[in-house]
Amino acid sequence: MRKNKDRSVFLFLCVAPAVILFFIFMIVPTINVFRMSLYERGAYSPTETFVGLDNFKQLFADSNFIRSMQNTILLIIVVTIVTFGFALVFAAILTREKIKGQNFFRVIFYIPNILSIVVISGIFSAIYKPENGMLNSIIGLFRDMTNPVLWKGEKLVMVSIIIAMVWQAIGYYMVMYMASMASVPMSLYESASLDGAGRMTQFFQITLPLIWTNIRTTLTFFIISTINMAFLFVKAMTSGGPNGASEVALSYMYGQKDAGLYGYSMAIGVVIFVFSFALSALVNKATEREPLEF
């Protein structure tokens, strides 16, 4: 009995610091965001006025906020599909095909993940530069560039951000899927080959089902993290411009806070929190499968 009690005390002392820090720096601020969304106050003013749900009513009638949410959803959908598609294909090729220098390709693909968002944004901003950027210089070899392509103009700015975000994320998830694919027994592929199954059939019928748990976990994590990553890329590359064409929900929230609408920005924070939680639950439910064993 004494031994069990000492063990319980030891476990409590180990867990308590993390729980206390989590409560202070996560739970309390989150609760405070919900509370402050019901008030109106300036960013630096101690005076608070209770307005109930008025901030939310104003929010859903705000065309700029709706546009920023549309941009956020667009980035989540497109970046996720493209990133995971390329990551799975590259992982399968480097795992199953006999390619010289596989470790070299792993390092090359992974390098963008160790760079900061500011560095990546700077690289792509230079590539997209209208006058002498790499993209326009290449296009200029084939046609007249009197009117250069505005890669960060209103029409193409979201495409430009998507390309940068995909480039940054592919390597990390490719390496993760390579580790999962390496654990799939080769005997399964050999048996499938004897039965006449081609590479594509093996990929969809063997590889994907057996690494689905890993895909499901990383998919949920990536979709939620994309909300934050989108803000970082937008802040570093475009600051929401031009004319709000690249504004995302988090950057719009910060903009409202900087404008002195503190309660209104907290209401945006609540909507983003609920949206993230609901999206995570939806993805988990949609990707639920019976686990396979081998």
Query: Could you report the per-residue pLDDT of 185-232, keeping only the tens digit for each?
Result: 888 888 888 888 888 888 888 888 888 888 888 888 898 889 999 999
Asked if residues 241 and 226 have their Cβ atoms less than 8 Å apart, the reply is no
Q: Rounded distance, CA 197 to CA 67, Å?
A: 47
For the entire predicted model, the pTM comes to 0.88
Q: What is the pLDDT of residue 292?
A: 61
Cβ–Cβ contacts within 10 Å for residue 29, how many?
A: 9
Average pLDDT of the residues of the chain: 87
State both tokens at 169.
Answer: 């994320």
Q: What is the pLDDT of residue 139?
A: 86
DSSP-based three-state secondary structure for 92:
helix
Task: Give kind and range of the element (H or E) at residue 49.
Answer: strand 49-50
Reduced to 3 DSSP states, what percent helix, strand and coil does the chain have, rounded to the nearest 5?
70, 0, 25
CATH domain 37-286 topology = MetI-like fold (1.10.3720)
Low-confidence stretches of the chain (pLDDT < 70) are 1-3, 42-45, 290-294
Q: Rounded distance, CA 126 to CA 137, Å?
A: 12
